[in-house]
Amino acid sequence: MHELSIVQGVVELCEQHCGGRRVLAVTLEIGSLSGAVPEALEFCFEAATKGTLLEGAELEIERVEATGYCSDCGVVSPVETYFDSCPSCGAPALLLRTGEEMRVKDLEVE
């Protein structure tokens, strides 16, 4: 359940940036291979924000789909797992371009 630590990180970052104002909404960017499960983040969010400036804030999660670069044929393709091979040329490994993000994109304050 490392989602709780992640949400605590979100709370900390937002409190640093909100200038003491109440936070109404937070947008996260979560990569499909980041290891963080959106449903689990949502589940932790309410508990972790209680008594903070984020209490009652809306949580929006933008999923970032994973893509990988093939160093053999140079094609960038969508990736579903860490072990996808290149759909274009069949090379066994792709270098991840996106999909591992865990970022606070923005927030909305009063």
Partner 1 sequence: MCTTCGCPEEGHDHHHDHDGHLPGTRITIETDILAKNNRYAAGNRALFKANGIFALNLVSSPGSGKTTILERTLCDLSGNLRCAVIEGDQQTDNDARRIAATGVPVKQINTGAGCHLDAHMVGHALEELPTREMDILFIENVGNLVCPASFDLGEAHKVVVLSVTEGEDKPLKYPQMFHAADVMLLNKIDLLPYLDFDVEKCLEMARRVSPGIRIFQLSAKSGQGMAEWYEWLRGKG
Interface residues with partner 1 (CB under 8 A)? 1-2, 5-6, 9-10, 12-14, 17-18, 21, 24-25, 28, 33-36, 58, 81-83, 92-93, 102-110
Residue with Cβ nearer partner 1 (36 or 51): 36
Q: For partner 1, which is the closer residue by CB, 16 or 51?
A: 16
| Residue 80: both structure tokens together | 């579903």
User: By C-beta, is 75 or 109 nearer to partner 1?
Assistant: 109
Smallest distance, partner 1 to C-beta of residue 9, A: 4
Phi, psi dihedrals of residue 33, rounded to the nearest 5°: -110, 20
State the distance between the two ends of the chain, measured CA to CA, in whole angstroms.
31
